[in-house]
Amino acid sequence: MWGVIAYLHSPDLVAAFQRFCGLVPKETCSYVTQNGLVNANGSGEDGLVKIHRRKAQQVANGTLRAQEDSNSNYKCTSSQYDNKVGKHPGCHYEVKNWLLYLLFVSSSTLGHEVFYISCLPCIHWNLDPFLCRRLVNMWAVVMYIGQVMKDILKLPRPSAPPVVKLETRVDAEYGLPSTHAMAATAISFTLLFSAQERVKFHFELGLIVAVVLSTLVCLSRLYTGMHSALDVICGVLISAFIMAVSYPYWGTFDYLQLHSPFSPAVALVLPLFLCYGYPELDHYSTTRGDTTIILGCAAGSSVGYWVNERLGLTFDLSGPLPVNLPPLTPVAFRLCVARFLVGVGFLVLTRQTVRWVSLRVFCWVYGASVSDTEARRRKEIEVPYKFCTYTAIGLVNSIIVNRVFVMMGLWDLGNGISV
């Protein structure tokens, strides 16, 4: 059993998958500095994390000696590091199959902010706010559990070499479970199971799409070198378990979220409490900030949906459910594109404005400089300014944007929504 676990967690398995897909390292690639430090999260000297911390954790599974032997082939002098990595990062890998490269790199964006601020709201604007609400709720739950498990278990990501790493921002994070795999599984299958209540479609076709999308995201984490096979498998299984346990209560939670007088308070206080209570690490990691972003979006959206229910205009699908989706005519397609562009514009404007204001307010409160990167990473500043920013985004998305569509003539109130 332990042999299987060690095999699935081995960086050699990830490296073999990368080579099979045409992603190979350059022989002159430099990974390790003379003093044994690597730039772990793509933030310059601020992101240095000591290799011996990861080596100590790798001793337990017996992979240290093999990795040290492999690492010796890639070490360089300090001057070589300055030339190749420090001052001129350059490309340390070669792509021999660009189709797979583009496929997996684009698939990996599911866990990035650009996805949070565009694709999820797009379901709200162009399909059904009910589905978006379900997705955001489940996405927030699985991501929080996954992020906390990472920082409690503290299992390292695959080592480079032999793995080629295509991302640097999150390299200081721990590996197990893969939150990309968790989010992909939760979003794909929550949408599948919830949509069958709302719209008519071929369930078998939807199941194939959900499996393909979640599989692509999972494989992308191996391709980019950010997770082991064990990380990905555990992420999928944990997400599936959370969905299975919570599925019978989705309807009850929907009702309480929309109708309980305590819903707004719980939606704001509980996520903020979870953000402040996030596990502390001995180094800076992006997990706490990313978790705050996710919970902030969920909190703002939840309050917004509650407000819409009070105002009597929810923009949900109306009539006998499930409904037939209207055909995607050229006019309907242009309206969808227009709503997407206007909506994203509002969200980006909200993000930039609230972020600018809230960051300065909290830096002023705590006597820190806005330009001080280390100060912005302090919990008492990072958590509230990010939470305020993304709560505002959730509120604007759920309350304001659809009403702007109506005023601009981008949405027909008589076309299948609840008034």
Structure-token pair, residue 418: 């609840």
44 dihedral zone (left: phi>0; alpha: psi -120 to 50; beta): left
53 dihedral zone (left: phi>0; alpha: psi -120 to 50; beta): alpha
Structure-token pair, residue 307: 């407000």
Half-sphere exposure of 240 toward its Cβ, with a 13 Å CA cutoff? 10
Which H/E stretch holds residue 37? strand 37-39
Contacts of 274 (CB under 8 A, 6+ apart): 144, 291, 295
Cα separation values, 412 from 132, 403, 416, Å: 19, 11, 9
Gap between the Cα atoms of 5 and 17, Å rounded: 17
User: Regarding beta strands 93-95 and 23-25, do their DSSP bridges make them parallel or antiparallel, or are they unpaired?
Assistant: antiparallel
> Of 23, 79, 25, 70, which Cα lies nearest the Cα of 51?
70
Gap between the Cα atoms of 270 and 409, Å rounded: 37
Q: What residue type is assigned to position 296 of the chain?
A: G
Task: Calculate the CA 259 to chain-centre distance.
Answer: 29
Gap between the Cα atoms of 223 and 18, Å rounded: 5
Gap between the Cα atoms of 230 and 235, Å rounded: 8
Which H/E stretch holds residue 254? helix 250-259
Q: Any bridge partners for residue 324, and if so which?
A: none
> Which residues carry out catalysis?
180, 227
Q: What residue type is assigned to position 156 of the chain?
A: P
Q: Which residues of 140-162 are buried (b: 16+ CB within 10 A; e: fewer)?
A: bbbbbbbbbbbbeebbbbbbbbb
Under 8 Å between Cβ of 282 and 50:
no
Phi, psi of 145 (to 5 degrees): -60, -45
Gap between the Cα atoms of 390 and 303, Å rounded: 12
